[in-house]
Amino acid sequence: MGMLSARQRMGAAAIILAASTVLSRLMGLVRDKIISWQFGAGGEADMYFAAFVVPDIINYLLAGGFLSITMIPLLTRRFRENAHDAWRLFSCVFCWMALASALLTLAGMVGADHLARVVAPGFTPVQWKRLAFFMRIILPAQIFFLCGACITALLFMRRQFRVPALAPLIYNGTIILMGLGLPLLAQAETAQTLLPAALLARMDGMTGYCVGVTLGAALGTFLLPFSVAAKQELRLSMIWTHTLMGKFLLTALPLMLGQTVIMLDEQFLRIFGSLAGDGTVSLLNYARRITQVPIGLVGQAAAVASYPFLVELLARGEKERFNATLHSALVGSMGLIIPCALCMAATAWPILGIIFQGGRFGPAETLATLPLVRIMLAATPFWILYMVLVRAYYAHGDTLTPAITGTVMTLCCLPAYTWWAVPRGAWAIAALSGTSVACYVLWLTAIWLHRHGAQALAGLPQLTLRVTLAALPASVLAWFCTLQAMQNLILPPFFAACASLSIGGLVFVIVFVPLAYLWSREILQPILQRFGH
């Protein structure tokens, strides 16, 4: 009964986070659709995407994306032992995070002109100046992201997933609102009268989207969770020392110093893309946005929802249930991502046509992005395996192994990016990105098997093979039907893409479901149970 209860609670958390992820990814695609329509690939769009390199690295240096991982185990145990002291520990971490993020943000803003040349070495001097301007607007968002991550970790620890699930929706919504609204505001008569001409001149292009990033981070990532936590007896005080702070730093330090290929993947696409010609940064970014949708939908929900339960099971010494929970998350995630990735690869042309094509993003840009999407989709199962497995490492308190192996892989990839991928263009950069992620994840998997045995991964290779064999024929037929529809339907481009995607998706389902029922019925089990089979 306890195991069933834990699974039910984990399932409910996963549903909440999955729904949030779906809406967030959809809003993200709407945001990118608007950007691609207005700015296409190259120029202003390249500079906007490159402006995130330094802010993201600051986030990585302070382990912002991993604060839940480092804080939850410590706080969970401390709240059980001494609630008053647990609040002191939380306050200490929060104060140091606020100070460190503020200092790094200030340093980034002061040095933005020099940093622009480092993160986008292929840009022109004019582009560097514009890039530095964008960076100075976006950088303060990291203060809100990092301080908000502390509050979010507290909410996750208390199994409160609804409020953190709203944060990305508010964030993306604010970016869209400011991106569209700021240029209109600059054109208003009142603004023309009250604001100086120099400021009005800078409110054009993608400036509004940059403002939206910082404002969205302040509202969604920090103020919303903070206001909710404050109503639930949040005890935050100015504390700079705590006996467990050293243990927290020892856990977090590998995540701060270990710059893995997973963490730097998007930054590598931007940095090395800037060297591969105008528009390459944008094309790689648009392709990555598409491929990250299934990763976020399938992997992020399962990984984030399962982590607090994995920590709790290990804290109680229940290793068998830990392995069963991890196995369930891995099987469910891999069983979904493989057919999803193959179906998307087969129908990538109409997907791009629907999401991005239009305005300044024409058919030529769609066809240039198409192979990049398919190359990146090939690595999606490895992303999913990483997202779930790495949290099993962290639940054991092992942040060192993923950090060291990932950093070694990063150092090995840098020469390959510079001397092999860049001269060959965008497709080679995308291929090396996927290859490096796959090698890193396989290495981590081998280490896990050596240290912890195969119980949590039992049957996973066989399931992967059976699902792939069921999905491959479906994807080939779906690709053929999609290609014929895109080439022969006499309809406006958007409606032709919609019709082609519908045809390709339907063909995939018709072929895949019977084969999956024969060879890998367990991935259809939730649907079969609903219909009483």
Q: What is the pLDDT of residues 390-400, one digit of tens each?
A: 888 888 878 78
Confidence of residue 8 (pLDDT cuts 50, 70, 90): very low
Distance, CA of 35 to CA of 515 (rounded, Å):
40
- The pLDDT > 70 percentage for the chain reads 84
**How confident is the model over 439-470, as pLDDT tens digits?**
999 999 999 999 998 888 888 888 889 999 99
pLDDT at residue 188, rounded to an integer? 62
Q: What is the mean pLDDT of residues 198-204?
A: 62
pLDDT at 242: 81
Tokens of residue 327, six digits: 């196995």
Least confident of 10-24, 105-119, 166-180, 249-263: 10-24
Give the whole-angstrom CA distance, residue 217 versus residue 288: 22
What's the pLDDT at 6?
44
Tens digit of pLDDT for each residue in 74-90?
777 777 788 888 888 88
Q: Does pLDDT of 497 surpass 80? A: yes
Give residue 172's region: left, alpha or beta (phi > 0; psi -120 to 50). alpha
Q: What angle do CA 213, 13, 249 make, to 5 degrees?
A: 65
Which amino acid, 69?
A: I
Tell me: pLDDT of 197 over 60. no
Torsion-angle region of residue 19: left (phi > 0), alpha (psi -120 to 50) or beta?
A: alpha
Average pLDDT of the segment spanning 40-62: 82
Mean pLDDT over 15-21 rounds to: 59
Burial of 243 per CB tally in 10 Å (0-12, 13-18, 19+)? exposed
What pLDDT does 1 receive?
36
**29-33, 270-274, 408-412, range with the lowest pLDDT:** 29-33
Provide the H-helix boundaries in 378-425: 380-395, 400-416, 422-424
Beta carbons of 410 and 325 less than 8 angstroms apart: no
User: Which pLDDT band, with edges at 50, 70 and 90, does 346 fall under?
Assistant: very high
Rounded Cα distance, 276 and 298, in Å: 32
Residue 5 has a pLDDT of 44
Residue range 265-288: mean pLDDT, rounded: 89
Spatial distance between the Cα atoms of 253 and 256, rounded to a whole number of angstroms: 5
How many CA atoms does the CB half-sphere of 105 hold within 13 Å? Answer: 20
How far is 42 from 74, CA to CA, in rounded Å?
Answer: 45
Q: Please, what sign has the CA dihedral across residues 449, 156, 167, 55?
A: negative
The pair of three-digit structure tokens given for residue 487, joined into one six-digit string = 């080439």
The answer to whether 260 and 440 are in contact (CB under 8 A) is yes
Q: What is the pLDDT of residue 4?
A: 37
Q: Where are the alpha helices (DSSP H) in 40-82?
A: 44-50, 53-61, 67-81
CA 125 remoteness from chain centre: 31
Q: How far is CA 497 from CA 115, 290, 332, 456, in A?
A: 41, 16, 31, 42
What is the predicted pLDDT for the residue at 336?
Answer: 86
Q: Per-residue pLDDT for 161 more than 90?
A: no
349: tokens are: 């042309």
pLDDT surpassing 60 at residue 191: no
pLDDT in tens, 403-430: 889 888 988 999 999 999 999 999 999 9
| CB atoms near residue 80 (< 10 Å) | 10
- Reference 143, options 111, 100, 173, 109; nearest CA is 100
Tally: H helices and E strands in the chain: 27, 0
Q: Give the Cα separation of 308 and 160 in Å (integer).
A: 11
Confidence (pTM): 0.80
- pLDDT attached to residue 7: 47
Question: What separation, in Å, do the N-terminal and C-terminal C-alpha atoms of the chain show?
Answer: 23
Which pLDDT belongs to residue 471? 93
List all residues 6 or more positions away from 121 whose beta carbon is below 8 Å from its beta carbon. Answer: 271, 274, 275
Model confidence at 66, pLDDT cuts 50, 70, 90, reads low
pLDDT at 430: 95
**Statement: residue 34 has pLDDT above 50:** yes
Q: 9: exposed, middle or buried (C-beta count within 10 Å: 0-12, 13-18, 19+)?
A: middle
The answer to whether residues 294 and 344 touch, using CB atoms and an 8 Å cutoff, is yes
Three-state SS for 451?
Answer: helix
- How many angstroms separate the CA atoms of 304 and 216, rounded? 22
Give how far Cα 125 sits from Cα of 50, 110, 120, 206, 382, Å. Answer: 14, 18, 11, 18, 38
- Asked whether residue 531 carries a pLDDT value surpassing 50, the answer given is no
> Tens digits of per-residue pLDDT, 361-392?
889 999 999 999 999 999 999 998 998 888 88
Average pLDDT over residues 21-43: 78
Nearest to 478 by CA among 450, 513, 448, 453: 513
Please report the pLDDT score of residue 183 as a whole number. Answer: 76
Q: What pLDDT, in 10s, does the model give residues 233-258?
A: 777 788 888 887 877 777 777 666 65
* pLDDT in the model for residue 246: 79
DSSP secondary structure letters along 253-264 = HHHHH---HHHH
